[in-house]
Structure 1
Amino acid sequence: MSFFKELKVAYQAGDKEWYSGRASQLENQYWHQSILVSDLENLKISTTKGFGIVGYVCDAGVKKNQGRIGAQKGPKSIRAKIGRLPIHFENRKVTDFGDVICLDEDLEDCQKALSKTIHKLILNNILPIAIGGGHDIAYANFNGIKEALKNVSENKIGIINFDAHFDLRAVEIAPNSGTPFHQILSENTATSYFAIGIQQQANTKELFEIARKRKVSYVSNLECETFDEALKSKLNKFLKKIDYLYITIDLDGFSSAYAPGVSAPSALGFTPNFVYKALAFLLQSKKVISCDIAELNPDFDIDNRTADLAAKLVDYIVQKA
């Protein structure tokens, strides 16, 4: 595909066959009836706001981070669940723009390809919802946002990461799923980063020290029992100092009761109810420019529980954005 020339990746355009569900004689009852599909080559500038799903078929970063591989199968599992969901929103145009596919474990080229995709979607008035894939998706998504805003005067980007981990490891041999936010903050000193759900037992003392030096805001998993006024106040302060917000959700931040199918499951994570409330609050700001959901590993899922959660998060973002 010429759009990704000189990059070692494969690309597959969106396909209606990825979505299926209950038959209905009525229109617009289920996602599989209403989802649109396209490819990036034919994307045309639109004045109407839309949503764009794009798959990041890559777990090279998870492998390099010594995690449980299998996240490359995540986009397929999420779409299978999305198609079956009933629609409870109106005037929302959602298009699947296909998959960026990692080849020969070339993580950097796959990240560059996703960045180009995010950049193009944003410039065409589309809010990207990327589905992965490892959490190295974050470095790619951020760079696509940054490129899309390079000619905008007020372009301070804030990152909200729902996650058990900081993902602030410095790159030693090669980037991986544990390094994206260290890379972002090292290259973009004006960027603000807020992590929600950090678990002490999932991060070393060194990572907490890096977070302190990088002035990273965070709340621990113990502060995520309820979406209370204290957290709202912290998020309001964060939102006031940025122009655009990028939301990234690592599914391993959820309790393994809800998300067993991830690279690093934990019983101590937050609940879907907490994240729903937080998302509604953040999306009300109208500053959200891109989102992604990372780390679904279908090989370790139970009754497609994690895929179902990821699909419902996509649906909720479309409803509330």
Structure 2
Amino acid sequence: MQCKIIKVPVHEGTGREGCARGAEALEAAGLAQALASLGHQVLDGGVVRPGPLPAIAHANPAVRKLAELSAWTAAIAAAAHAASETGFPVFIGGDHSVAAGTLTGLSRRAAESGRPLFVLWLDAHPDFHTLDTTESGNLHGVPLAYACGLPGFEGYFPPLATPVDPARICALGIRSVDPAEARALGASGVTIHDMSEIDRRGMAVLLEAFLDRVRAADGLLHVSFDVDFLEPAIAPAVGTPVPGGATYREAHLVMELLFESGLVTSLDLVELNPDLDVDGRTASLVVDLAASLFGRRILPLSLKAG
């Protein structure tokens, strides 16, 4: 497989600057080497940079860095659309505002190809605020709502060529939802599996049901992985940690199932803040998880079947 690693050093979506160096940390932890060792061709897709800032302001006084995020979103969407023409793009951030651009660029590409785009959202948070409902003002909390075409972004974020259908989104590992997000999600059609449901039913059962839907529709599958999907004890390098996340084995199981499905066509790796890491262990874990998604196994499947 041809993998294109695209660096997106955006930090304006969060209140901390360290995420801008997340891509560098993943590179230093050996992301490209890990994928190449599995037989994939790894290409340097370059660094995304925003264009000129638009002159915009919002009535919600909490909203922060709106012009910067609007410019970033336009640039990332263009990069995602271009990169997805061939190969498998891997977007390494950067905070989760990256997804406002990747989802919209990929959705445009999917529409042009005549295939539906599905999204697996691995995150502690649904990031389903609008510019009107956000209280923190940190715009890494809005990308999924924007990409789905919720109202209130017109005139502030780039116009959507093709919104993502909320019914084709599965948010897995959720454990922190604000009331406004809960109301919007309830009316949206997004499939939500929180950690309580995962505890009761199991990670594999829930994920495989979603993968069956993607397969039946001949869909393209984008995986948007936020480091805070993981339990903070094993992945401390996040600015918004929420206890009770996915364990080491649960996270690897997700990646193994995704590889075995053969359905994934693009990937975000976001919210890694190396300033908060301990001896680089979070970056190393994210690289290991990415390697599992691209086929790394302890034993070949043929031996397991025997």
Q: Which category describes the TM-score, using the shorter chain as reference length? A: 0.7 to 0.9
TM-score by length of 1: 0.74
1:113 to partner: Cα distance: 1.8
Are residue 296 (structure 1) and residue 258 (structure 2) matched?
Answer: no
Please point out which of 68, 75, 91 is paired with 1:113: 75
Any idea what the Cα deviations from partners look like across 1:38-65, whole Å, max 9, x if unmatched?
A: xxxxxxxxxxx400111110111113xx
Contact 2:204–2:253 under 8 Å retained in 1: no
Distance 1:270 1:77, change over 3 A: same
Name the aligned partner's letter for residue 9 of structure 2: V
Q: Which residue of 2 aligns with 1:203?
A: 177
Q: Which runs of 5+ in 1 are unaligned?
A: 1-48
Partner of 1:131: 92
Bigger drift between 142-151 and 82-91 goes to 82-91
Q: What is the SS of the residue equivalent to 1:158?
A: strand
d(CA) in 1 for partners of 2:143, 2:295: 28
Q: CA deviation at 1:260?
A: 0.8
Amino acid across the alignment from 1:146: S
1:94 equivalent in alignment to 2:42: yes
Partner of 2:239: 263
Partner of 1:141: 102
Equivalences for residues 1-20 of structure 1 within 5 A: none
Q: Say whether the 8 Å CA contact 2:230–2:245 is kept in structure 1.
A: yes
1:236-275 alpha-carbon deviations (Å, 9 max, x no partner): 2455346111100010111111111111012211123212
Q: How many residues align?
A: 264
The reply to whether residue 54 of structure 1 matches residue 30 of structure 2 is no
Matched, 1:185 2:148: yes
Q: Per the alignment, in what secondary structure is the counterpart of residue 177 of structure 1?
A: helix
Q: Which residue does the alignment assign to 1:40?
A: none
SS at match of 2:106: helix
Q: Distance in 1 between matches of 2:36 and 2:2?
A: 16
Alignment match, 2:190: 216
Give the C-alpha shift of residue 140 in structure 1: 0.8
Q: TM-score under structure 2 normalisation?
A: 0.78
Alignment match, 1:75: 23
Cα deviations by residue, 1:124-147 (Å, 9 ceiling, x for unpaired): x21011111010111111122123
CA deviation string 1:7-57 (max 9, x = no partner): xxxxxxxxxxxxxxxxxxxxxxxxxxxxxxxxxxxxxxxxxx400111110
CA distance in 2, matches of 1:319, 1:249: 17
1:287 maps to 263
Computed over aligned residues only, the root mean square deviation of the Cα atoms, in angstroms, reads 2.5
What SS does the aligned partner of 2:140 have? Answer: coil
Shift of 1:313: 2.5
1:170 aligns with 2:145: no
Structure 1 residue 224, shift from structure 2 partner: 3.4
Q: Match of 1:118, as an amino acid?
A: A
User: Percentage identity across aligned positions?
Assistant: 23
Point out where structure 2 has 5 or more consecutive residues left out of the alignment: 54-64, 150-159, 297-306
> 1:206, CA displacement in angstroms?
2.5
CA shift at 1:83, angstroms? 5.9
Structure 2: which amino acid aligns with 1:169? H
Following TM superposition, by how much is the alpha carbon of 1:204 offset from its aligned partner in structure 2, in angstroms? 1.9
